Chain A
Amino acid sequence: MSGTLVIFKKELKGFYFNSTFWMICFLVSVVFSWVYPIQLNLFSQLLMNYVMQQGVPQNQLNIHYGVFLRQLSYLNLLLIFVVPALTMKLFAEEKKLRTFDLLLTSPVTSFQIVMGKYLAALGAVGGIVLLALLYPLATSTLATVNWGPLFIAFLGIFLVGGVYAAMNLFASSLTENSIVAYVASVIFNVSIWFVGIGTEVVDGERARKIFEHVSLSSHLSGLVEGTVRTNGLIFFLSIIVLFCFLAERVVESSRWR
């Protein structure tokens, strides 16, 4: 296990001492500093309307729905493009610069290499999610916030980030070219949402059930609403395990060229 730890530490340091990460953080905070107040503003107008006209659906009146969930969907959109930027180099760059030779001739297994890198990527994604969490935290000084659902919702988005990281790590392991890795990663991240669209276009009841079960959005929405369901967690974890396993296979296969 020590090999995992060594690689994890090195890669995590690599993320946090690198300007790319801070540029991404900057970007994320710019977007939120711009979008979040607008959401907050809209919400307060909505409240005002409610007081005056009473014509607004009940559930929209919750700050949780009115502001935080929207923020999360923006965060999700950002993650689709930002996680690939973080992970694209993890394997591609090592292969290109031949530092991969060092890893493959060190006493670490392919599994440890992948785990070290994946956990480091999670650490970076976690940093971005925490940054986004600052906005609701700041809001809590102005409004009463229901902490439980808020944290579960952010856990949900973190898990989605984890799914992206796993898929994108796999994409990076496939190529020597970081740009190719980035593009492939974005395609992965976008297409996994299209699985969810299947629920709306498919006719049969059973097919819809299946699509619902494998769709990221239906599992995420559960978490986002503040309820933890085991099958949702299992779903996320199994995608993560699947892609980490695939990445491990690719690393292992590089011995067989």
Chain B
Amino acid sequence: MIQVKDLTKDYGPRRAIDKLNFSISKGDVVGFLGPNGAGKSTTMKIITGFMAPSHGNASVAGFDVFENPLEVKKRIGYLPEIPPVYADMYVQDYLRYVAALKQVPKEKIEGSVKNAIEKTNLGDVQKRLIHHLSKGFKQRVGIAQAIVSDPEVLILDEPTVGLDPKQVAEIRELIKSLKGQHTIILSTHILPEVEATCEKVIIINKGRIVAEDSIQNLSTMEQGQIRLHVRLRKSVEDMQNVLSGMGSVIGVHSGASAKEWSIDLKGSEEAVENVSSLLVGKGYGLLELTPAKRDLEDVFLKLTYGQQEKGGPA
């Protein structure tokens, strides 16, 4: 559905994205993940035809974004970083306008607007001036605007920014419910969002793709590692020192206080047993010991920041 080849964008001398290559098939929900300034929004702007790439090309549904922009734009619903809403319009009128702009046939406009309002829970404010809405509601109007034309491809740049937790959950549900009929790309820094909604992640850092895989594969990337969360009754000043004798320990991080630690281990259950017996033996008062799988967050941090920060959270 979406094909990106050698996509490069230079803002003057600054290279925002550098030779991106990926393809997304119909019905996929893909998360764009990356720290600030990674180039997520830039990539999305190029795919939507908002701006031209410096090199390389992108195509949507077989149409080149650059050579056939109108065909591409007909198929895309786009939520930019700042929702493109007119403050002096009423929610309903605005959505009607967007639907007309996206060439929804006249007789279907009312239905599409109603549908979009329902899906984004805007029923209560549909007759209000956008100017008077709160930030979260404006964001929802932005999402409604993207889905109002029932596009084949949805491109959402940080769709849940500024929403309350309940709404975040609802938008995630919405995105899940759209999967299958729509191809969706969403960008975010929030990992649970990707885990909750996407099947595939593309992690971008400094304009380059550092990982592209299914969530499943990424989170089990480094097998044979175990992370232990421990909670003790007594505080320990230097856990690193305490555990220094054990070869299987590869990392120690302090938690909220000197009584909570997470410990990264290499090896199998035996290593866990050794650590627990050591802590008990020293009389620290072991209250809790929970093994945690390395989650996406770690993978993300390792892939993006880990390269620069010495030691890092890895």
Chain B 65-92 interface mask (CB, 8 Å, partner A; 1/0): 0000011011010101010111110000
Which chain A residues (84-106) contact chain B, with CB distance < 8 Å? 97-106
Contact of B50 with A104 in the complex, beta carbons under 8 Å: yes
Could you tell me the distance between the alpha carbons of A108 and B71 in the complex, rounded to whole angstroms?
10
Interface residues of A in 211-257 (CB under 8 A from B): 254-257
CB-CB nearest in chain A for B70: A107
Once the chains bind, are A105 and B103 in contact (CB under 8 Å)? no
B49 at the interface (CB under 8 A from A): yes
Q: Closest B residue to A257 by CB, please name it.
A: B51
The tally of residues in A whose CB lies under 8 Å from a CB in B reads 24
Q: A residues within 8 A CB of B73?
A: 105-107
* A107 cross-chain contacts in B, Cβ below 8 A: 70-71, 73-74, 101-103
- Contact between chains at B70 and A6 (CB < 8 Å): no
B97 at the interface (CB under 8 A from A): yes
B103 in complex: contacting residue of A2, A7, A14, A254, CB < 8 Å: A2
Q: What A residues does B50 contact at CB under 8 A? A: 101, 104-105, 255
Q: Smallest distance from the beta carbon of B158 to chain A beta carbons, Å?
A: 14
Cβ of B117 within 8 Å of any chain A Cβ, yes or no, is: no
B2 to chain A, nearest CB (A): 15
Q: Which residues on the B side are within 8 Å of A14 (C-beta)?
A: 88
- Docked pose: A6 CA to B100 CA in angstroms: 7
Q: Are A3 and B85 in contact (CB under 8 A)?
A: no
B13, chain A: closest CB distance, angstroms: 14
- Let me know if A6 and B97 touch, CB within 8 A: yes
What distance in Å separates the Cβ of B267 from its nearest Cβ neighbour in chain A?
52
Chain A 11-45 per-residue mask, 1 if CB under 8 angstroms from chain B, else 0: 00010001000000000000000000000000000
A109 to chain B: which residues have CB within 8 Å? 70
* Cα separation A7 to B97 with both chains bound (whole Å): 8
Q: Identify the closest chain B residue to A14 (Cβ).
A: B88
Given the complex, which residues of B lie within 8 Å of A256, measured CB to CB?
51-52
Q: Which of A101, A106, A257 contacts B101 (CB 8 A)?
A: A106
> Within the complex, what minimum Cβ distance (angstroms) separates B47 from chain A?
10
Is B139 located at the chain interface by the 8 A CB criterion?
no
Q: Is B185 an interface residue (CB 8 A)?
A: no
Residues of B within 8 A of A70 (CB): none
Q: Are A102 and B145 in contact (CB under 8 A)?
A: yes
Contact residues in A for B145 (Cβ distance below 8 Å): 102
* Chain A contacts for B156, CB-based, 8 A: none
A98–B51 CA distance with the chains assembled, in angstroms: 14
Q: Which residues of A sit under 8 angstroms from B78, Cβ to Cβ?
A: 101, 105
Q: Which residues of A sit under 8 angstroms from B51, Cβ to Cβ?
A: 254-257
- B88 to A106, Cβ gap below 8 A? no
What distance in Å separates the Cβ of A208 from its nearest Cβ neighbour in chain B?
47
Are B100 and A255 neighbours in the complex by a CB distance under 8 Å? no
Give the shortest distance, in Å, between A10 (CB) and chain B (any CB): 5
- CB neighbours (8 Å) of B228 from chain A are none
Q: Which of B210-260 contact A (CB under 8 A)?
A: none
The answer for the CA separation of A98 and B138 in the assembled complex, in Å, is 13
For A101, what are the chain B residues with a Cβ–Cβ distance below 8 Å?
50, 78, 80, 82, 84
A contact set with B: CB distance below 8 Å:
2-3, 6-7, 10, 14, 18, 97-109, 254-257
Query: What are 8 pairs between A and B in contact, CB < 8 Å?
Result: A6-B100, A98-B80, A102-B145, A106-B102, A107-B73, A107-B101, A109-B70, A257-B11
| Other A-B pairs beyond A101-B84, A105-B48, 12, CB < 8 Å | A2-B103, A6-B101, A97-B86, A98-B82, A98-B84, A99-B86, A101-B78, A101-B80, A107-B71, A107-B74, A107-B103, A254-B51
